[in-house]
Amino acid sequence: QANPVPVYVKLRGLEEKASYRLSLVGKEEEMTLSGAALMHAGLPIPPAKGDYCAWQIHLVRI
């Protein structure tokens, strides 16, 4: 089976020069991205593992 195509969601209404810490609820991994990156490139969404998969994302301006 081929690798899944990455999905990116472009956010709106963020401050371009601000930094944002993102984490998936239930996972220890965190990443820090700029508002510009989140609005122009988008937020990377992990591939779904099974039917009805959902992600809860915690986003904090730092």
**pLDDT value of residue 40:** 98
Give one word for 40, left, alpha or beta, with left for phi > 0 and alpha for psi -120 to 50. Answer: alpha
What CA–CA distance (Å, rounded) separates 59 from 2?
Answer: 30
Rounded to the nearest 5 percent, the helix, strand and coil shares of the chain are: 10, 35, 55
pTM of the model: 0.80
- The tens digit of pLDDT for each residue in 4-53 reads 888 999 999 999 999 999 998 888 889 999 999 999 999 988 887 888 88
Domain ranges of the chain: 7-61
Residue with tokens 């965190």: 30
**Topology at the third CATH level for domain 7-61:** Immunoglobulin-like (2.60.40)
Count of Cβ atoms closer than 10 Å to residue 60 Cβ: 11
**pLDDT value of residue 51:** 86
